């Protein structure tokens, strides 16, 4: 997915006080590329990712996703676009604790009534190296394994855009590096666009966008 951000402004209003977070941001990300987003805490990295993922809306400016000015669409059109095109991985995995790895990964497809949900979920768990952990619940997995399950769940719908917000922030260095290497590999293999927020200079690749306050 190609991303074009034009003069993006985002303010939050708290008790009628304006908190200006993004002030006229421009950014173009070519389809199929992988971009690391860096910058100090509180600068607006998560805010930017949420807006690009259509989970939050801009105060003003334009976000074009594959040329479509996404926030001019209706809420249900935006939700439909998100569900079919965008995958998310967060710092904390947000897996459902009472369901197994397999059930967590097949959930997004089951909600669409996809009869291949189980098979696709197995395929993705295999791909992230968890063939032996299908029936483990999140509490029965290591941090790195939980994040692999979250990655499989984000990819099971074959998104054209993967948004990862500090996906390794909760992991040790070696495990974090393994997750990022896996994301890079999948980016090359699948051609999906990847935007990844990271604090760790060792995880930043060749393409980097630095947010500053
Ligand atoms: P980062 O991910 O770079 O650490 P965030 O995007 O989470 O930063 O937050 C950017 C700024 O916006 C912070 O100063 C934060 O306090 C503020 N902020 C984030 N969400 C809200 C909100 N819902 N209401 C008010 N302020 C917010
Ligand atoms: Mg953040």
CATH number of the domain to which 84 belongs: 3.40.50.300
Handedness of CA 110, 146, 162, 192 (dihedral sign): negative
Q: Is residue 10 part of a domain?
A: no
Distance 164 CA to ligand 2 centre (A): 10
How many CB atoms neighbour CB 143 within 10 A?
16
The pLDDT of residue 159 is 96
Q: How confident is the model at residue 212 (pLDDT cuts 50, 70, 90)?
A: confident
173-190 vs 143-155: helix axis angle to the nearest 10?
A: 20
Q: Is residue 8 part of a domain?
A: no
Taking the chain, what is the end-to-end CA distance rounded to the nearest angstrom?
Answer: 27
Q: Which two structure tokens, joined as six digits, stand for 170?
A: 């909760």
4-63 pLDDT, tens digit per residue, is 999 999 999 999 999 999 999 999 999 999 999 999 999 999 999 999 999 999 999 999
Identify the DSSP state of 195. E
73-123 pLDDT, tens digit per residue, is 999 999 999 999 999 999 888 999 999 999 999 999 999 899 999 999 999
**Global pTM value:** 0.95
Q: Is residue 13 part of a domain?
A: no
In the predicted model, what is the mean pLDDT of residues 136-152?
96
Ligand number, closest to the Cα atom of 45: 1
Ligand 1 neighbours by CB, cut-off 6 Å: 12, 14, 19, 21, 39, 41-47
State the total domains in the chain.
1
What share of the chain in percent tops pLDDT 90?
88
What share of the chain in percent tops pLDDT 70?
100
Protein residues within 5 Å, CB atom, of ion ligand 2: 45-46
Q: Is residue 162 part of a domain?
A: yes
**Under DSSP, is residue 19 helix (H, G, I), strand (E, B) or coil?**
strand
The pLDDT of residue 206 is 84
Mutating to test ligand 1, I would choose from 10, 45, 47, 167 the residue with most ligand atoms within 8 A of its C-beta, which is 47
Q: Is residue 6 part of a domain?
A: no
Q: Is residue 65 part of a domain?
A: no
Q: Is residue 102 part of a domain?
A: yes
Which structural domain range is residue 133 located in?
Answer: 31-43+74-207
34-49 pLDDT, tens digit per residue, is 999 999 999 999 999 9
Cα–Cα distances (Å) from 66 to 63, 96, 113, 194, in that order, read 10, 32, 26, 14
The whole-chain average pLDDT of the chain stands at 95
Residue nearest to ligand 1 atom 19, measured at CA: 47
- The strand pair at 86-89 and 68-69 is best described as unpaired
Identify the DSSP state of 38. E
Selected residue with higher pLDDT from 93 and 2? 2
Q: Is residue 54 part of a domain?
A: no
165-177 pLDDT, tens digit per residue, is 999 988 898 989 9
Identify the DSSP state of 122. H
Cα separation of 59 and 23, whole Å? 10
**Under DSSP, is residue 64 helix (H, G, I), strand (E, B) or coil?**
strand
The pLDDT of residue 183 is 94
């Amino acid at each position: 997915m190609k991303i074009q951000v034009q003069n993006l402004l985002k303010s939050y209003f708290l008790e009628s006080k304006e908190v200006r977070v993004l002030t006229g941001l421009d950014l173009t990300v070519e389809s199929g590329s992988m971009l690391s987003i860096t910058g100090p805490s509180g600068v607006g990295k998560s805010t930017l990712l949420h807006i690009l993922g259509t989970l939050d809306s801009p105060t003003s400016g334009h976000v074009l996703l594959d040329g479509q000015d996404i926030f001019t669409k209706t809420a249900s059109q935006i939700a439909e676009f998100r569900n079919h095109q965008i995958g998310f991985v967060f710092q904390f995995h947000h897996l459902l604790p009472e369901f197994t790895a397999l059930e967590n990964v097949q959930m997004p497809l089951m909600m669409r009534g996809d009869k291949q949900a189980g098979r696709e979920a197995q395929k993705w768990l295999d791909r992230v190296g968890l063939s032996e952990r299908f029936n483990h619940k999140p509490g029965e997995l290591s941090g790195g394994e939980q994040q692999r399950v979250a990655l499989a769940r984000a990819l099971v719908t074959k998104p054209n855009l993967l948004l990862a917000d500090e996906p390794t922030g909760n992991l040790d260095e070696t495990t974090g590096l393994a997750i990022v290497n896996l994301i890079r590999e999948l980016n090359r293999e699948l051609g999906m666009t990847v935007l990844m927020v990271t604090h760790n200079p060792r995880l930043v690749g060749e393409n980097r966008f630095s947010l500053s306050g």
